Structure 1
C-alpha cells in the first residue's frame, strides 16, 4: 500500500439524526501535512475517525489508491496507519509491554531509540521498563501518556499518521519538546491532523476549512492567510501560525 492518494467522495455522516458531514469531498496526497480546521462541532474529528475505520459513513466512499477503504482488511489497514490522540489507551501492564504494542518483535536497540526519541529516558531511569502503568495509565502524567503513545508510533513507523488533539492534557513545559519530536518524525509521512492548539497546527503545510459539513477551502498556509479564510476563524492566533510556518 503506497498511500499515493486518499479520496473522500461525497461523504455523509449522521450522529443521532444530526447531519455532521454533508457531501464532503477531500483529497490527501502522499507526503501531505494537512490540518482540518473550522468551528467547534463541525465534524473535524469525525473525518479522522472515518479514516481510522472507527465509524462508517451513511453514504459516500473513501478510496486509498483507488481501492475502497471497506475492501481493505483491518489487519492491513492498521499495519500502515498510526494514530496519536487524546484518547490513547494505556494498558494496566508494564511500560515495556505498552510501548511494544507499536511493534511486538521490536529489538532492544529499537526500543532504546524509541525511548530516547519520545523523551522517556528519565522516566525509565527512575522507574525501570517493568514498572506497571496502572489502569488506563493511572500512574502517568498527561505528558508521559503522550510520550508512551509517541514511542509506540515510533516503533510502528506508519505511512499515514493521524493526529487528533495529540497534546491534550500536556503542559506547556512538555509541549515544545514533544512537538519537536513529532515534527522530526513526520518528515517523510502523510499526516492529517486536528487540534485547537496552534503549536500543533504548525506541523501542517496545508489547511482545509470545514464548515456546514463540507470542505469549503483547501490550500497552502500562505494562500489561505492572504485571502482571509484562516483569519476569519482564528483572528487572534494568526500571528502564531505565521511564526511557526515561517
Structure 2
C-alpha cells in the first residue's frame, strides 16, 4: 500500500462510499436529520420573536402580549434543547456503530492479505488505518457531515427570512458574498493539501515508532538512540510543518469571516439606519435583521471548522478505501469443505517461486513424499528452505509449477482447509496475550485439558507449566517464560491441532542441548503417523528422518532416502 498521491479517488466518490456505511442505520440518520431541521427552525424563531416584541407589543405597551411572547420564547428554548440532545446522542451512536463496522471490515480484510502484502507495508501504517483513520471518519460523521446539512439549511432559512423581512436590505448584504466565496475557495484548496500531507506524516510517525519500540533491544545494543531520535525528530518536524500550514490558513480565514461579518453589519447600519430615520423600515425589522445577520455568519464559521474535519476525513478515507480495494494476492475461489481431510502425500512439481518478479528463489524444485514420511531439508542460509514452507502453506503464490496434496493441485484446495491440515513450528515463536491453555488450544479450541496435558508431557512442556503459579491458566506476558519454553509450547500447540502434515522450521534453534535431548523422543512422537518436513542445522534433529533434500540456491543437489544418501557419500554425507 504505497503512499497515496491524493488523486486516486475523487471527493464525491469517497463521500458516496462513506455514505454507504450509513445505509444500515438509515432510519436513525433520517431521524437525526429531522431533529436537526427542527433545531434549525427553532433557532430561526428568536430574532423574529424579537421583531414581533418591538414592533407589535413594546410600541403598543401590550403587557399581555409580552407575556405570551416570553412563554413562546421559553418553549422554543426548551424544545431546542430536547431536540439537540436527542440529535447529538443519535449521531454519536451512529458514528460509533459505523466505526465498529469499518474497523471490523478493515481488520478482516487485513487477515485475507498474503504475506507479500505485509512485506511491503509497515505495521505502524496498518495500525494507523485501523485506529487513527477510522476515528477521523467517526469525527466527520458525528461532528461534520450531518451538521454541515444543518448549517446549510440554517443559512438558507436565514436568507429566506431576511429576504422576507426586507429584500432591499438583503441585496445590500449580498455585496460581501463574492469576496467571502473567494476567500473560502482559496482556503479550501490550500487546507486540503496540508491536511492530506499531515495524514501521510502521521502514518510515517506511527510506523517508525512501532519499528523502534519493537526493536528497542537492537537500538540500545548498537547505541542508535541519538541517530534514531534525530530521524524521528525529522519526521515529526515534517508533520509540524504541515500542522503550522493549516494553522496559518485558519489564522487567515477565520478573521476574514469576522471582517466580512462586521462589514455586512456596518452596511446594515448605514443603509438600514438611513431608511429607519426616513420611516421606511420598522425598528423591530432592523434589530431582527442584525440578529439574523450575526446568526448567518456563525454557520459559515462552523462550516470552516467542519471543512477541516471533512477534509481530514477525506484524506483518511482515501487510505482506508485504498486498503479495502487492495485485492487478495491469493483469492479464495474454491469453496470450503467441512469434512476435508488429507492423507499427507506431498509433491512439488517443477516449482518456481520468487518474492519479487524474475528473482527466483526456488528454481524448478521437484520432490515427492508419501503420506507419513519425514523429510529433512538442509542447505546454506538463503538456499530456499523456508521458502518451501511458505509455498507449502500457501502464504505466497508460486510463479510456475504445482504443489500436489494426495494428488490434488493446491489450486483445487481451499487455502483455509489446507492450513487446518498443516501445523507449523517456527524458529521465532509468537504467543498471544492470554493464558497458556488458550495459546496451546489455538488450532483446536474443543480439545479437553486432559488431552492437552498428555500432549504437553509428550513434548516435555508439562513440567515447566506445572511449576508456574497458575499452571495452564497462567497469563502470558513478554519475558515471563524463556525462549526454549516458548518453543516447547509451540510443539504442544502444533500437536493439539492434530495435523496431517507437520513442519518444523529451525524449531530447535532456541532450545539448549539438554532440552533438545529431552524433546528428541517428543519429536519422534510428533512425527509418527504424520508427513513431516524438518528444517534444521543440527544434524541430531535429523537422525530419524526418512528422506533428505539438499538445496543450493533454490535447486535440488541431492534428494533421496537418508541412509542411501549417506552410503553414496555425497554432499549430505559431508555435512
Does TM, normalized by the shorter one, top 0.5? yes
- Cα distance in 2 for residues equivalent to 1:132 and 1:219: 45
Give the corresponding residue for 2:360.
Answer: 19
Equivalent position SS for 1:196: coil
Bigger drift between 115-124 and 155-164 goes to: 115-124
Distance (Å, rounded) in 1 between the aligned partners of 2:428 and 2:396: 16
Once the two structures are superposed, residues 125-165 of structure 1 have per-residue CA deviations (whole angstroms, 9 ceiling, x without a partner) of: 32222212214xx3221221111111112212211111110
Tell me what 1:40 maps to. Answer: 381
SS of the equivalent of 1:19 reads strand
In the alignment, what sits opposite 1:130?
473
CA distance in 1 between counterparts of 2:532 and 2:557 reads 20
Task: Pick closer, same or farther for the CA change 1:4–1:109 going to 2, 3 Å.
Answer: closer
Alignment of 1:137-152 (within 5 A): 138-152=479-493
CA distance in 2, matches of 1:96, 1:2: 27
Indicate yes or no: 2:157 matched with 1:157: no
Tell me the residue number matched to 1:117: 458
Counterpart mapping for 1:1-246 below 5 A: 1-3=341-343, 5-16=345-356, 18-127=359-468, 128-135=471-478, 138-231=479-572, 233-234=574-575
Deviations 1:36-65 (A, max 9, x none): 122321101111111111122122211112
SS of corresponding position for 2:475: coil
Contact 1:142–1:171 at 8 Å: present in 2 too? no
Cα separation, 2, equivalents of 1:205 and 1:150: 20
Tell me, in whole angstroms, the C-alpha distance in 1 between the residues paired with 2:538 and 2:566.
17
CA deviations 1:16-37 (Å, max 9, x no partner) are: 4532111111111112111112
Task: Work out the CA distance in 1 between the residues paired with 2:475 and 2:440.
Answer: 12
**Which stretch of the first structure deviates more once superposed, 3-12 or 161-170?**
3-12
Of 10-19 and 76-85, more deviation after overlay is shown by: 10-19
CA 1:48–1:233 in structure 2 vs 1: closer, same or farther (change >3 Å)? farther
Distance 1:184 1:88 in 2: 21
CA distance in 2, matches of 1:115, 1:211: 36
Give 1:231 shift. Answer: 4.7
1:110 partner SS: helix
Distance, in Å, in 1 between the alignment partners of 2:361 and 2:436 is 38
TM-score of the aligned structures, taking structure 2 as reference length: 0.39
Residues 204-240 of structure 1: per-residue CA shift (max 9 Å, x gap): 1211122242223211122211222235651xxxxxx
Which structure has the higher relative contact order (CA within 8 Å, separation 6+)? Answer: 1
- For the residues of structure 1 that align with 2:465 and 2:385, how far apart are their CA atoms? 36
From the superposition, tell whether residues 229 and 192 of structure 1 become closer, same or farther in structure 2 (CA, over 3 Å): same
| Native 8 Å contact 1:39 1:233 kept in 2 | no
Larger Rg: 2
Q: 1:5 to 1:121 in 2, by over 3 A?
A: closer
SS in 1 for 2:534: strand
1:160-183 deviation per Cα after TM superposition (whole angstroms, max 9, x unaligned): 111110111111121111121111
* TM-score where L is the length of structure 1: 0.87
Between Structure 1 and Structure 2, which shows a larger proportion of helix residues? 2
**Pairwise CA distance, 1:203:** 3.0
Q: Which moved more, 1:2-11 or 1:177-186?
A: 2-11
Which secondary structure state, in structure 1, belongs to the residue aligned with residue 472 of structure 2?
Answer: coil
**Richer in strand (by share):** 1
